[in-house]
Homo-oligomer: A and B are copies of this chain.
Amino acid sequence: MEAILETKYALDTFYFLVSGALVMWMAAGFAMLEAGLVRSKNTAEILTKNISLFAVACIMYMLVGYNIMYPSEAVSAYWPGVSFLLGGDNVASEVLAQNADEWYDGSYYSGMADFFFQVVFVATAMSIVSGAVAERMKLWSFLLFAVVMTGFIYPLQGYWKWGGGFLDELGFSDFAGSGVVHLAGATAALAGVLLLGARKGKYGPDGQINPIPGANMPLATLGTFILWLGWFGFNGGSELIVSNVDEANAVALVFVNTNMAAAGGLVAAMMTARILFGKTDLTMVLNGALAGLVAITAEPLAPTPMIATVVGAVGGILVVFSILALDKIKIDDPVGAISVHGVVGMWGLIAVAITNPDATLKAQLIGLFTILGWVFVASSITWLVIKAIMGIRVSEEEEYEGVDLGECGLEAYPEFTGTKGSGL
């Protein structure tokens, strides 16, 4: 018996590590997506933000975030307390020595694998922010926000749901994080964008909206494909266990539903864009796929693949109208992150009440507004403090010249933008 339990433990740990590696890969997806959707003069800086926020998230989550989100002994359902640094000890293996029978529930795998899976999630939430504030925010102000977001703001609301806090007790349902990850990230982004203001030239004095096309569509498409792939780890790994028949079937269904929701979102957004604009706008196609993925993330296990496709499709339609609506009210989000992760994240949370009979609309709405409220208030305060200390927006001149030269001291494509690129 023990040998079988050992093998299950090993399989679950390996499944967790592979899933985590796929989620880590999503950081590359966000980097490519955002680098493709900004102008060339701001590309090196957005790349710098994306890769460095990942490193900051890992360090902060190791130092404090993980212990806030998963406390060994919580102070209350609202506040977990702060235990100390992750010391490299491996809780699960200690449990193992004590009580081998518990393995059979499939409840155990390496604690380090759990940390690895969780740490790449917090990086995902933070990656959402960088796109929305692109082309005008100071690099180091952004990094300072990343420290607070990944060390404190994200882990606390994560504790409320996944750490066993009050939202979990209330019956709020969020399988892989339409709320805890995507809505949280988008809300922090929104708070930043409201303080930051729109890019120069985006909105004309007479109410016109000037399109600012992204510099590199293949990169944006590659980023979307990377995110799509990574999402199999994001949702598939969130089942947490694969080592028995029921769990294996569940993981497989999650893979299929995740894929179908992306497909549904893509096709719905493509058709919506074609009808609205008369052209098949690639950026809307990409955002449609991502919207489908965000929409299914709160509940990828309960629906059939057919229903999952519909959940994704609704997300795909929503995202197109949301992007247009945000522009109307002059909320300037260069990559559509607030629409994709925020608006569709909310849809994902609400959809759970439809697809999963165990969920209630009331609990879903409480969860939704708790995350929205907490992250918005905490982020706004953080952004304001950072603004007071060091400012959050680059100078007008730097914005005109491009933040690449000002912040990074180099150009992303020094040989390609000789004539047409300059002055945009």
1/0 per position for A213-234, CB-CB distance to B under 8 A?
Answer: 1111111011011101100100
CB distance from A122 to the nearest CB of B (A): 12
Residue from B7, B48, B421 in contact with A4 in the complex, judged by beta carbons closer than 8 Å = B7
Within 8 A of B (CB), among A23-64: 24-25, 27-28, 31-32, 35-36, 39-40, 43-44, 47-48, 50-52, 54-56, 58-59, 62
Asked if A21 is at the interface (CB within 8 A of a chain B CB), the reply is yes
| A326, CB-defined interface residue at 8 Å | no
Q: Are A420 and B409 in contact (CB under 8 A)?
A: no
A248 near B9 with CB under 8 A, answer yes
- Pick from A70-78, A181-189, A260-268 the stretch touching chain B: A260-268
Interchain nearest-CB distance for A144 vs B (Å)? 13
Does A3 belong to the interface (CB within 8 Å)? Answer: yes
Q: Is the C-beta of A242 less than 8 angstroms from some C-beta in chain B?
A: yes
Candidates B52, B62, B263, B421; contact of A416 at CB < 8 Å: B421
A31 surroundings in chain B (CB, below 8 A):
218, 221-222, 225
A346 at the interface (CB under 8 A from B): no
- The answer to whether A52 and B267 have CB atoms under 8 Å apart is yes
CB <8 Å contact, A247 and B86: no
Q: Does A253 contact B (CB under 8 A)?
A: yes
Q: A306-B85, A414-B215 known; A52 and B116 CB under 8 Å? A: no
Pairwise interchain contact B247-A10, C-beta atoms closer than 8 A: yes
Q: How far is the CA of A215 from the CA of B410 in the complex (A)?
A: 11
CA distance A24 to B222 in the complex (A): 13
Q: What is the CA–CA distance of A255 and B116 in the complex, to the nearest angstrom?
A: 7
Cβ-based interface call for A132 (8 A) = no
Contact B245 A96 (CB under 8 A): yes
A16 to chain B, nearest CB (A): 8
Which B residue sits closest to A417, measured CB to CB?
B415
Q: Which of A246-294 contact B (CB under 8 A)?
A: 246-249, 251-253, 255-256, 259-260, 262-264, 266-267, 270, 274, 277-283, 285-286, 289
Q: In the complex, what residue of chain B is closest to A266 when comparing beta carbons? A: B55
Of A106-114, A190-198, A331-339, A381-389, the one touching chain B: A106-114
User: Which one of A92, A139, A286, A421 has the highest number of Cβ atoms from chain B below 10 Å of its Cβ?
Assistant: A421
Residues from chain B with a CB closer than 8 A to the CB of A54 are 263
Q: How far is the CA of A78 from the CA of B58 in the complex (A)?
A: 43
- Give CA–CA (A243, B11) in the complex, Å: 7
18 example contacts (A-B, Cβ-Cβ < 8 A) are as follows A4-B4, A6-B245, A7-B11, A10-B243, A21-B22, A44-B282, A51-B225, A58-B260, A88-B253, A96-B245, A116-B252, A213-B411, A215-B413, A280-B409, A282-B410, A283-B410, A416-B416, A418-B419
A: residues with CB less than 8 A from B are: 1, 3-4, 6-11, 13-18, 20-22, 24-25, 27-28, 31-32, 35-36, 39-40, 43-44, 47-48, 50-52, 54-56, 58-59, 62, 85-88, 90, 92-93, 96, 104, 109-113, 115-116, 119, 139-140, 213-219, 221-222, 224-226, 228-229, 232, 236, 242-249, 251-253, 255-256, 259-260, 262-264, 266-267, 270, 274, 277-283, 285-286, 289, 303-307, 309, 407-421, 424
Known: A3-B104, A86-B305. 17 other contacts (CB 8 A): A3-B8, A6-B243, A8-B10, A13-B242, A51-B286, A58-B259, A87-B304, A87-B306, A90-B253, A96-B245, A109-B248, A110-B252, A113-B248, A217-B412, A222-B222, A280-B409, A415-B424
